[in-house]
Amino acid sequence: EAQVTQNPRYLITVTGKKLTVTCSQNMNHEYMSWYRQDPGLGLRQIYYSMNVEVTDKGDVPEGYKVSRKEKRNFPLILESPSPNQTSLYFCASSRSRDATYEQYFGPGTRLTVT
Amino acid sequence: GIQVEQSPPDLILQEGANSTLRCNFSDSVNNLQWFHQNPWGQLINLFYIPSGTKQNGRLSATTVATERYSLLYISSSQTTDSGVYFCAVNSGGGADGLTFGKGTHLIIQP
């Protein structure tokens, strides 16, 4: 089944404890990206990647890192999480190298930082 | 950047009713998608429709790119249709992702 997977789906952590949210797609897609969703602010892009080893900042990159060492994986790293990073996170992928084609979203990761 | 406005913000209907959700955008688009966010938070792809008309069962969508709007039609609503419906666009052919509207919160009552 073609899909985007994320792990973990739910995470409660404490301020400053490094964490990684994994994202994987099995569709051989070029483009991958991360979004966060917050009440009143909607969905906003954090980082994106057009290809292996090519990443760039989205609208809200502060406090996050990403890497794209393999085509199928695009992990999101929070090196020192803070309470304002409590959010619902989505990974997405697309077959083109930009956002002009259909984006497929993962199931979401609900993160709480205390 | 491009602006995306959805209407109405909230809609309460009885099961079996039909509804039309609207998405207006402020610039030409390369990508327009409709999503349904279910009560568990998952974003479900409904349509990829930068122009034209598509149908999938009880749902259909039309985008009139020259007039910068898209419509999502839901017929014979079911309680499982409840949730938030988002319109999202990409403009300019860039790699900088989708811009989402604020959504329409739909409640279908039995």
Q: How far is CA B73 from CA A58, A104, B46, in A?
A: 32, 21, 11
pLDDT digits (tens, 9 = 90+) for A2-57: 899 999 999 999 999 999 999 999 999 999 999 999 998 999 999 999 999 999 99
What is the average pLDDT value for chain B, to the nearest integer?
95
The tokens for B71 are 């419509």
Residue B11 has pLDDT above 90, yes or no: yes
* pLDDT band at residue B82 using 50, 70 and 90 as cut-offs: very high
Residue type, A23: C
> Which of A42, A50, A110 comes nearest B100 by C-beta?
A42
Which residues, in sequence order, are CB contacts of B22 under 8 Å at separation 6+? B6, B7, B69, B70, B71, B72
| B33 interfacial to chain A (CB closer than 8 Å) | yes
Share of chain A above pLDDT 90, in %: 91
What is the average pLDDT value for chain A, to the nearest integer?
95
Radius of gyration of chain B (CA): 13
Once rounded to an integer, what is the mean pLDDT over residues B80-99?
88
- Per-residue confidence (pLDDT) for residue A97, from 0 to 100: 77
Least confident of A22-31, A98-107, B42-51: A98-107
Residue B6 has pLDDT above 90, yes or no: yes
> Which of A45, A88, A102 comes nearest B48 by C-beta?
A102
| CA B6/CA B27 separation, integer angstroms | 15
Q: What are phi and psi of B35, to 5 degrees?
A: -125, 155
Show the beta-strand stretches assigned E in B17-103. 19-25, 31-37, 43-48, 52-56, 59-64, 69-74, 83-90, 99-100
Once rounded to an integer, what is the mean pLDDT over residues B39-51?
94
- Per-residue confidence (pLDDT) for residue A54, from 0 to 100: 92
Check A58 against B97: CB less than 8 A apart.
yes
* pLDDT band at residue B93 using 50, 70 and 90 as cut-offs: low
Once rounded to an integer, what is the mean pLDDT over residues B98-110?
95
Residue A99 has pLDDT above 90, yes or no: no
B31 versus B95: which is more confidently predicted?
B31
Cβ atoms of residues B73 and B57 within 8 Å: no
- Per-residue confidence (pLDDT) for residue B1, from 0 to 100: 87
Q: How far is CA A79 from CA A91, B21, B110, in A?
A: 18, 41, 47
B100 contacts on A by Cβ (under 8 Å): 42-43
Nearest residue in chain B measured CA to CA from A98? B95
Nearest-CA distance A88 → chain B (Å): 8
* pLDDT band at residue A100 using 50, 70 and 90 as cut-offs: confident
- Per-residue confidence (pLDDT) for residue B94, from 0 to 100: 65
Nearest-CA distance A114 → chain B (Å): 21
Check A43 against B93: CB less than 8 A apart.
no
* pLDDT band at residue B81 using 50, 70 and 90 as cut-offs: very high
H or E stretch at A25: strand A19-25
3-state secondary structure (DSSP) of residue B56: strand
